[in-house]
Amino acid sequence: MVKMDRIKIFQNKLLVLSLIVIFIMIMIAIFAPILAPHDPNLIDLSNKLKEPSLTFPLGTDHLGRCVLSRIIYGTQVSIGAAFLVMGISIFIGIIIGTFAGYKGGWIDQVFMRLCDVLLSFPSLVLSLALIGILGPTFKNLIIALVIVQWVPYARMIRGLMLVMKEQHFIMAAKIAGTTDTIIIIRHMLPHILPQVLVFAFLDIGTVILHISGLSFLGLGIQPPTAEWGMMINDSKQFLRNYPSLMLYPGMMIMLVVMSFNLLGDSLRDLLDPTHK
């Protein structure tokens, strides 16, 4: 069975390609200090708006900073922040969704009504409002996105728990005297987590877009930290004469978001028992 799964994975070209791209991006983020040819925040007005050269492979921006170095460090910031948001959101979603779905009763009603209230607002609008209240810092950006992102995971996990706890093997475990903690950890979560991870891979592209969009508006990552959305915002005044300054970070956002979306779609098809 494992061999068959591996064969299916390697036969899916989009899955393999997206995994390769994501792996490369993660390696770039990890080894950014080694790969970047210059300090991404070093201002040198004597080299501003330089064309690509051996010294500056992608040229420089309006402050003389190396565009390639800022792109590389932007990978570290954008992907790192997205993984941080997703990790915290999934953890909170698992705790609340499992507790509400397994226990039920008034606890379930309270948490689900809270989810309904949060879902009644568009996620980006709610993020904007929260950052406007908390202030535009990296910490507040993470907090605002986590408040928005945990809700769909909690609802999904709660629904899966409601289905799982009615299964015969779960009832048998209860009759045998197995504790609720053991039932949840050993018998329920292993069946639920693969579906959660597929949803997470589909959702992480949206988180990256939110981070870049909020940074573009000046409400996310703050200068001088290199981040793709902020790089686009800094370069918009030079769009007519130096369009490449906006093109490079825009292409990175598109490439990463597309890779995660393709990975999520491919994993969903691979794990779907009805997919042929």
Q: Does residue 5 fall inside a structural domain?
A: no
Amino acid at 203: D
Distance CA 220, CA 91 (A): 23
Q: Does residue 2 fall inside a structural domain?
A: no
Containing domain of residue 234, as a range? 18-270
Q: Does residue 40 fall inside a structural domain?
A: yes
- Give the Å distances, CA to CA, from 101 to 95, 98, 186: 10, 5, 16
Cis bond before residue 37 (omega within 30° of 0): no
Strand partners, 60: 66
Say how many residues make up the chain.
276
CATH at residue 230:
1.10.3720.10
21's tokens: 């791209």
| Cβ atoms of residues 96 and 49 within 8 Å | no
Per-residue pLDDT of the chain (276 residues; tens, 9 = 90+): 334 455 455 566 778 888 899 999 999 999 999 999 998 988 888 888 888 888 889 989 888 899 999 999 999 988 999 999 999 999 999 898 888 888 777 877 888 888 888 888 888 888 888 888 888 888 899 999 999 889 889 888 888 888 888 788 878 877 887 787 788 888 888 888 888 888 888 889 889 999 998 888 888 888 888 899 989 988 888 888 888 889 999 999 999 999 998 888 887 777 655 444
| Element at 257 (helix H, strand E) | helix 244-271
What total of structural domains would you count in the chain? 1
Q: Does residue 3 fall inside a structural domain?
A: no
Q: Does residue 37 fall inside a structural domain?
A: yes
| pTM for the structure as a whole | 0.85
Q: Does residue 6 fall inside a structural domain?
A: no
| Cβ atoms of residues 192 and 164 within 8 Å | yes
Q: Does residue 83 fall inside a structural domain?
A: yes
Q: Does residue 149 fall inside a structural domain?
A: yes
Distance CA 77, CA 225 (A): 8
